[in-house]
Each structure stands twice: as C-alpha cells, then as structure tokens.
Amino acid sequence: MAHLRHRKLVRECCTGSVSKNEPARIRPDEELSRRMSRRARKDTAPELALRHELHRRGLRYRVQVKVPGNNRRTIDVAFTRAKVAVFVDGCFWHGCPNHHVQPLANSEWWQWKVESNRARDRDTDRLLRDAGWSVVRAWEHQDPSVVAGQVETLVHSKIAAPTEPTDKRTATQRITSRKVTEHKQLSSGDSLPSGE
C-alpha cells in the first residue's frame, strides 16, 4: 500500500515534465542518473565494429546522417549514393526478443520507453522508405561480418541496378521522333549518321 501511495506522489510531483502518455516513474538516484547519461548514443562498440568491417570490405559511407523528413533523427551508417540506411539497435533500448530484460524497478515506465523506441524506429523506417531508401536494422549482438555481408550485397545491388531512363517517352514516340529527324535530314540533303 505504501508503494502505491509513493507512486501517486511521484505522479503528482512529476506531471509537469512527463508527457501525457508517459507513465509515472520513481526518479533514479544521482549516481545511476549520471551513469545512464554517460552511456554512448553514437559510436557504440557494436556500431564501430560494423563500420570497421564495412570499411575493410572497401565500402565507404557517412555516419550520423539526418533522416529525410525528420532532422532530429540520424542514420547510424548511411550509403547516400545507394540510399541504404543501416541502424545498429541496442538490445536493451530497442527490446531485443532474445536479450532484452525488463528492469524490475519502474517496469511500467521501462515497458513504455522500449515500446516508444520501437514505434520511433518504425516511423523512421517509414520516412526513409517513403524517401526511396532501403533500411537495414541489426541488433548489437549480431556478428558484424554477417551484417556487413548483407549490407554489402544490398549496396552493390542498389548501385548496379539500372536507373530509370531519363527519356520517359514510349518506344513508339522515340521511333517516330527518330523517323521525323531522318526525314528532315534526307530532305535537306544531309547524310544519315552511320549505323542507322
């Protein structure tokens, strides 16, 4: 019963800084708060391992590229020419089905936080796909060489894929246009280009 009263007090005192959908939580002590704020958000060990493997394979990329349509979000590893976005998701923060362990303290809040992260990931994927990008999401526990192989295959296939022709006329329109040009050249006395 005391725990419920404490939760009610926390909810009442924290309403100004909490979004309306965010459940109340007990604030962590100073030491835990300091440790959590120092955790890397970019250039994590799994991300660096993947980038090293991609570079070893001769792939060149950009890091921390803004997501089209939302400048507050960034792509971990971006192949801008091929339009391939690679994210390395942490098992804890993104709720890995194999390794995520729900904390016992503030469990309702942590569940909300992980679900919010997943929803943001889905929205980011949608924004990128709408902008013509392919998205690769890897878990931090995955072997970097396996992920790099998948990324390498995708990047090479996107670069090698034929692009849309710039001439959007139909084949009939192109043939008709060529015949008109030939007719004009013949009537003016110019010779036709060789091979036609």
- The CATH number covering residue 148 comes to 3.40.960.10
What is the rounded distance in angstroms from the CA atom of residue 162 to the CA atom of residue 152? 18
| Distance, CA of 141 to CA of 60 (rounded, Å) | 23
Q: For the segment 3-56, what is each residue's pLDDT rounded down to a tens digit?
A: 444 444 334 434 333 355 876 666 666 775 666 666 656 789 999 999 999 999
Q: Given this model, what pLDDT does residue 188 score?
A: 63
Structure tokens at 15: 């309403």
User: Is 22 contained in some domain?
Assistant: no
Q: What is the pLDDT of residues 69-121, one digit of tens each?
A: 999 999 999 999 999 999 999 887 778 888 777 766 777 888 888 899 999 99
| Residue 23: per-residue pLDDT | 67
The domain in which residue 53 lies consists of 29-160
The reply to whether 38 falls in a domain is: yes
Position 171 in a domain: no
Domain count, the chain: 1
In a domain, 189, yes or no: no
Whole-structure pTM value: 0.65
Burial class (CB in 10 A: 0-12, 13-18, 19+), 7: middle
First to last CA, the chain: 91
- What is the secondary structure of 128-170 as a DSSP string? HHHTT-EEEEEETTS-HHHHHHHHHHHHHHHHHSPPPPS--S-
Q: For residue range 138-169, list pLDDT tens digits in order.
A: 999 999 999 999 999 999 999 987 655 555 55
What is the DSSP annotation of 31-84? Answer: HHHHHHHTS-SSS-HHHHHHHHHHHHTT---EEEEEETTEEEEEEEEEETTTTE
The reply to whether 191 falls in a domain is no
The answer as to whether 20 is a domain residue is: no
Residue 58 in domain: yes
